[in-house]
Amino acid sequence: MDILLAHGYFLYEDPHELKVMRPYPPLGVLYIASYLKSKGFDAQVFDSTFSSMEKFKALITRERPRIVGIYTNMMTKRNVLEMTRWCKQYGAIVVLGGPEPPYYAQQYLESGADIIVKGEGELTLEELIPHVTKQGAENLDLINGIVFRNGDGKIIETIPRAFIQDLSANPWPDREAIDIPEYMRIWKDNHGQSSVSVIQARGCPYTCKWCSHSVYGNTHRRRTPEDAADEVLWIKERYNPDLIWYADDVFTINFRWFFRYAEALKERGVRIPFECISRADRLNEDVVKTLAEMGCYRLWNGSESGSQNVLDAMDRKVEVKDVQEKTHLLQKYGIETGMFIMLGYEGETIKDLEETVEHLKISNPDVFLTTVAYPIKGTSYYSTVESRILADKSWQDRSDRDLTVAGRYSRRFYTFATRWMVNEVALNKAKLNGSTSLMRRLKLEANIRMGRLGMELTKGQIENQGQRIHEPASI
């Protein structure tokens, strides 16, 4: 084996994920696996999703791979650190990639990793594997797109590697390396329908200040519509899923590509219900009509806020009214609408929160999900609030999700704010649908009052406790 590729998501060891039960394969790992195999490397995959840490350790102990490459994000960090420590006990050179390690390269290297890959992994690993096989961890400064520590312990960052331009020249992800039917079974058993994920483009050119562009930068590169449609046809013939999840950041970003892709699917006789993510400014009636014809049953929109002031501070480049109008347009064509709402962004006031509730009432999405803003290292938002970032856990024991910002409302305040928001919108929806029983209405109204009361009681609680972190923004 030239390299063992892995990731740190263990479904059965995560209580939260066991409640959700919506696992998808690690497409990034599978893309790297197929690419390396196409270049003649023996690349094997350990898919941790349905496995365990013990089985990973047993594999390393038994096979003793020379190189182990692990995809890492903020939610899998702690597992990855444990996997790294175990690999080092058996002499492996550990290479970490994904969105998390580049901005915490020093910490990961000090925790046992040998090499951090910045950006896409295919071309870097193609060059890195033979180099490491012959020279070990020596002369790594010859490899573009990595971070490592030299013999003196100094951290070295090499020249960035250029992105892959022709995505359709790459092979499709190596789904046969893992148990796709098990992913589909989990979905079917828990949600009544099986689902398979695909990605037709890489990167997002938009400038939302809280969003990380760690792997793909601010680029946007698309596969050809024909190549993308051929893969979905193959998925239909091989796995026959009930649903498709398009994992693109903005699925309808390029109108010309989108319409060609819709036509390519039609020519191949493929129509699988799907959900995707887009933006209000990348939707119009022709696009929405075509989405419906293609089988789109749900579209997620990063609405984030109902306050134009907050959206402008985020550099979202969207208008509140446009989000509302496009939500109604999607519903007109029978497409469910989902929204992402972010609370607690820099400068947000109670008035802004009230505008968000009103926005949700007017838009009336089928579902919305809330999160409280947290600073992801490497983003513009992180840089803005860096001097005020607070953490109450050590780096090894936290993720960026655990960070908060001094000077804004407390976590308890946002717990009450979320309770108020969710119930206020639910009551409005129930009234619109004419389906409010007296008992349900009283329950919703009680939760609304509790939420508002909690906000009033806690709005004087400002984040000012915790361990202030003093980590460099970059290496």
Per-residue CA distances from 448 to 130, 296, 417, 421, 456 (Å): 61, 34, 9, 8, 12
Mean pLDDT computed over every residue of the chain: 95
Reported confidence tier of residue 55, pLDDT bands at 50, 70, 90: very high
Structure tokens at 337: 């609408």
Give the sign of the dihedral formed by CA 151, CA 154, CA 155, CA 159.
negative
Give the sign of the dihedral formed by CA 263, CA 266, CA 270, CA 275.
positive
Among all chains, which residue has been given the structure tokens 């997620």? 300
Q: Once rounded to an integer, what is the mean pLDDT over residues 428-440?
A: 86
**pLDDT value of residue 473:** 46
Least confident of 63-67, 148-152, 365-369: 148-152
What is the C-alpha R_g of the chain? 23
Residue partners of 418: CB distance under 8 A and separation at least 6: 343, 370, 372, 451
The two beta strands, 221-222 and 201-202, are: antiparallel
If we measure between CA atoms, which residue out of 304, 436, 434, 314 comes closest to residue 368? 304
Query: Does the pLDDT value for residue 465 go beyond 80?
Result: no
Query: Does the pLDDT value for residue 204 go beyond 80?
Result: yes
Task: Choose the most confident range, by mean pLDDT, from 151-160, 286-295, 384-393.
Answer: 286-295
Tell me the Ramachandran region of residue 83: left when phi exceeds 0, alpha when psi lies from -120 to 50, beta otherwise. alpha
Query: Does the pLDDT value for residue 446 go beyond 80?
Result: yes
pLDDT tens digits for range 95-153? 999 999 999 999 999 999 999 999 999 999 999 999 999 998 888 999 999 999 998 89
Among all chains, which residue has been given the structure tokens 């008035």? 351
CA trace torsion 327, 329, 331, 332 (10° rounding)? 160
Q: Per CATH, the architecture of 3-157 is what?
A: 3-Layer(aba) Sandwich (3.40)
Alpha helices in 280-396 (DSSP H): 285-294, 308-314, 320-332, 350-363, 380-385
Q: Once rounded to an integer, what is the mean pLDDT over residues 310-336?
A: 97
If we measure between CA atoms, which residue out of 199, 198, 195 comes closest to residue 181? 195
Q: Once rounded to an integer, what is the mean pLDDT over residues 363-377?
A: 96
pLDDT tens digits for range 294-306? 999 999 998 999 9
What residue segments make up the domains of the chain, in order of their start?
Answer: 3-157
What percentage of the chain has pLDDT greater than the value 70? 98
Reported confidence tier of residue 249, pLDDT bands at 50, 70, 90: very high
Between 464 and 357, where is the model more confident?
A: 357
